[in-house]
Structure 1
Amino acid sequence: MSAIKVIISGGGTGGHIFPAISIANAVKKIEPEAEILFVGALGKMEMEKVPAAGYKIVGLPVAGFHRKLTLRNLAFPFKLMSSMLKARKVIRQFKPDAAVGVGGYASGPVLRVASQSGVPSLLQEQNSFPGVTNRILAKKAERICVAYEGMERFFAKEKILLTGNPVRNDLLNDIDKHSAVEFWGLDKNKKTILIIGGSLGARSINNGIIETIVKLPADIQVIWQTGKLYYQEMKEQLPVELTSRVILTDFISRMDMAFAAADLVVSRAGASSISELAILGKPTVFVPSPNVSEDHQTKNAMALVDKDAAVLVRDAQVNCLIDEAAKLLTDVQKLEMLAANIRKFAKPDAARDIAQEVLKLAQNK
């Protein structure tokens, strides 16, 4: 019997890429002989991260459609057509037994061509409110793995499986706080805030923090991922007297060490981030991005806030983040409550459960 072949499409940000890699790893764990091919968008983060994880990737010239009027939209139909043709060629040559879409620009062309070619597909919907592309793709998908209850509002009930979102394997490393604080060269007697604006950074969070960081209490230290675009600017503006207790970095490759060191996390409310924070039981202040389709990050965050599992600060109020975080760190009881409640959202077997569904589709083709 020939090896099972699986195509995994999507990416654009770490929130799509790392779960996709986790699914691939889980497929290989169950079926070591399986062949996996990734399809991403040229010029996006997946073209670097996927090969680093040991998998082959093909890039499509696809790009997103901008909601604001812009000249870049003129190229959209041509890039989409070119991507559809390339996706057709990839599927014809690779001959997958199943196709997986994790969200991101490349998912659309690949899953559409897969369904037209008779290849069964699985959609991994990370958010509590799906975007337009996934709602269209869902009509042809055989299986839809979701992270939130109540998704039958958007998808056919019989296709839905509540699996949760996969997280990076390395985050599950058992690292004690003392070792993590030492890794960062920080003070074990101070409280630590981890600030992450997503893998690409978040301008508004960065600006809100840099404008108010002088108010950081003396017994608090910070690990701050700015994103590559904003690193130099933030570095130049950071007061010299704070450099010993504010670790500034453009990208954190050892997120396991960052989370282990943190007493409190300030984060965007991307679905992948929420899943990671839930598994780790980290008290979190979410700052939903206003620049996402259907305002889905606010909806993601509110699912937790409504259960006393997180705190929400609006993007327009980022200047109060330092005050809000400092106040929370003095309230041990609330921190413990937030940690306990966010853990209830954890789905530690998500990658394995999704991989099993992928293999079922492939074997029943």
Structure 2
Amino acid sequence: MSKRIIIAGGGTGGHIFPAIAIANAIRLQQPDVEFLFVGAKGKMEMERVPQAGFRIEGIDIAGLNRSSLIKNIGLPAKIIKSFFQVRKIFSEFHPDAVIGVGGYSTFPVLKHAQAKGIPTFIHESNSFAGKANKMLGKGASKIFTGTDGMEKFFPAGKIMVTGNPVRKEIVESKIDKNDAINFFELEHNKPTLLVVGGSLGAKSINEAVLAGIDELIKAGLQIIWQTGKSLAEEAAQKAAEHKEVWANTFISNMEMAYAAADIVIARAGAMTVAEICVTNKPTIFVPYPFAAEDHQTVNAQQLVNKNAALMVKDADAKTKVVKMAIELAANADKRNEISHNLSQLAITNAAERVATEVLKTIE
């Protein structure tokens, strides 16, 4: 009889894309495994997971709103309701194992699985563990981490350092740069800057690029710009005015964007960092300063320490990041050095390692 696995989590691409990568890797090793994803209603996993060919159930769950306590009034009721929804999902699907990748839905799903004695696995992508994952760690069968040094958050005997699963289409990409440039309708003889603020966008990065767009174009650069929702209209206007600018709220074909790019400006979420290592693209990281425990700065600093990236503080983005991008575009030696150092840090088989371990446990 085929095995059944629930994968819980989402909220951002940094949780969703590794989850899909893990599911695909498991399916490759054992094609008859049945999957059910569980996400938070209204979050991006409800759209992205079906697009990747997997079934998803949504539950009514949200996190604590730290900026407005009044918005937390309905939270206890939502949490209680989510546990009833999870119980119903389990009684219908009967999972053999549950994998949590982070995000609101991870906690009620893994907590219920652990209470029922079902093997649970956690994938913690960041170098600083989230609260829910820390609480679930003691009851987990195995904890997969993106980086080493995670013993301060989890029981040492349960940790397996796998690296972070990067989307298959990025890991296995053989896209020719000329084809990628054609895809974005840009020119072949200009250095290309990829601006990406994570799947939800980045206000400070967008403001910096918006303010410095004429400077970038004057320096001979062209731009592929994933805006998210922040300043999307203004960016679209710039793209309409300048043939050197391609802008959209979301890039579905990130493998194309990486293939076209010579340099990158990005947030420093764990998955972005992993993709940068795999694609060897010289990057200026602008870590999101309000991420839990400032983990994006820790993620970026690990690469900066190895001379494999540059970093600008969020508060300095508007005055520094465009100037740094122009300087990096003009310095081929520096770009080559960073690319070489990134290639030493790339992990391309993280999803396969997770898949092997999960299947070994539920055989």
Tell me which amino acid in the other structure corresponds to 2:235.
M
Q: Which residue of 2 aligns with 1:180?
A: 180
Query: Is the contact made by 1:102 and 1:123 (CA closer than 8 Å) also made in structure 2?
Result: yes
Q: Deviations over 1:114-162 (max 9, x none)?
A: 1001111110000001111111111111101011111112211111111
Please state how far the C-alpha of 1:362 moved relative to its aligned partner: 1.7
Please state how far the C-alpha of 1:70 moved relative to its aligned partner: 2.6
Query: Is the contact made by 1:6 and 1:98 (CA closer than 8 Å) also made in structure 2?
Result: yes
C-alpha separation in 1, matches of 2:356 and 2:202:
35
Q: Which residue of 2 aligns with 1:136?
A: 135
Provide the TM-score with structure 1 as the length reference.
Answer: 0.96
Q: Which residue of 1 aligns with 2:354?
A: 354
Please state how far the C-alpha of 1:229 moved relative to its aligned partner: 4.5
Q: Which residue of 2 aligns with 1:219?
A: 220
Query: Is the contact made by 2:40 and 2:58 (CA closer than 8 Å) also made in structure 1?
Result: yes
Query: Is the contact made by 1:222 and 1:245 (CA closer than 8 Å) also made in structure 2?
Result: yes
Q: Which residue of 2 aligns with 1:261?
A: 260
Please state how far the C-alpha of 1:68 moved relative to its aligned partner: 2.6
Query: Is the contact made by 1:209 and 1:318 (CA closer than 8 Å) also made in structure 2?
Result: no
Q: Which residue of 1 aligns with 2:289?
A: 290
Please state how far the C-alpha of 1:90 moved relative to its aligned partner: 1.1
C-alpha separation in 2, matches of 1:41 and 1:291:
22
C-alpha separation in 2, matches of 1:233 and 1:41:
30
Please state how far the C-alpha of 1:239 moved relative to its aligned partner: 8.1
Query: Is the contact made by 1:41 and 1:61 (CA closer than 8 Å) also made in structure 2?
Result: yes
C-alpha separation in 1, matches of 2:258 and 2:304:
20
Q: Deviations over 1:155-211 (max 9, x none)?
A: 111111111111111112201212211221111111000000011111121112111
C-alpha separation in 2, matches of 1:253 and 1:350:
22
Aligned to 2:6, the other structure's residue is in SS state strand
Query: Is the contact made by 2:239 and 2:246 (CA closer than 8 Å) also made in structure 1?
Result: no
Aligned to 2:139, the other structure's residue is in SS state coil
Query: Is the contact made by 1:328 and 1:335 (CA closer than 8 Å) also made in structure 2?
Result: yes
Tell me which amino acid in the other structure corresponds to 2:345.
F
Q: Which residue of 2 aligns with 1:60?
A: 59
Aligned to 2:187, the other structure's residue is in SS state coil
Structure 2: tracts of 5 or more residues without a match: none
Aligned to 1:152, the other structure's residue is in SS state coil
Provide the TM-score with structure 2 as the length reference.
Answer: 0.96
Please state how far the C-alpha of 1:232 moved relative to its aligned partner: 1.3
Q: Deviations over 1:330-362 (max 9, x none)?
A: 111111111111222211111111011111222
Please state how far the C-alpha of 1:291 moved relative to its aligned partner: 2.3
Query: Is the contact made by 2:6 and 2:38 (CA closer than 8 Å) also made in structure 1?
Result: yes
Instruction: Call closer, same or farther: CA 1:12–1:240 in 2, change over 3 Å.
Output: closer
Instruction: Call closer, same or farther: CA 1:239–1:168 in 2, change over 3 Å.
Output: closer
Structure 1: tracts of 5 or more residues without a match: none
C-alpha separation in 1, matches of 2:82 and 2:341:
43
Query: Is the contact made by 2:224 and 2:246 (CA closer than 8 Å) also made in structure 1?
Result: yes
Q: Which residue of 2 aligns with 1:127?
A: 126
Query: Is the contact made by 1:101 and 1:107 (CA closer than 8 Å) also made in structure 2?
Result: yes
Q: Which residue of 1 aligns with 2:169?
A: 170
**Once superposed, what is the RMSD of the aligned Cα atoms?**
1.3
Query: Is the contact made by 1:201 and 1:230 (CA closer than 8 Å) also made in structure 2?
Result: no
Tell me which amino acid in the other structure corresponds to 1:349.
N
Alignment of 1:54-93 (within 5 A): 54-93=53-92
C-alpha separation in 1, matches of 2:173 and 2:118:
36
Please state how far the C-alpha of 1:233 moved relative to its aligned partner: 3.2
Tell me which amino acid in the other structure corresponds to 1:207.
E
Of 85-94 and 283-292, more deviation after overlay is shown by: 85-94
Please state how far the C-alpha of 1:69 moved relative to its aligned partner: 3.6
Identity among equivalent pairs (%): 46
Query: Is the contact made by 1:11 and 1:106 (CA closer than 8 Å) also made in structure 2?
Result: yes
C-alpha separation in 2, matches of 1:199 and 1:340:
27
Q: Which residue of 1 aligns with 2:94?
A: 95
Tell me which amino acid in the other structure corresponds to 1:234.
A
Q: Deviations over 1:40-64 (max 9, x none)?
A: 0000111011111111100011011
Q: Which residue of 2 aligns with 1:337?
A: 337
Please state how far the C-alpha of 1:5 moved relative to its aligned partner: 0.7
Alignment of 1:3-22 (within 5 A): 3-22=2-21
C-alpha separation in 2, matches of 1:235 and 1:56:
33
Does 1:189 pair with 2:189?
Answer: yes
Please state how far the C-alpha of 1:264 moved relative to its aligned partner: 0.3
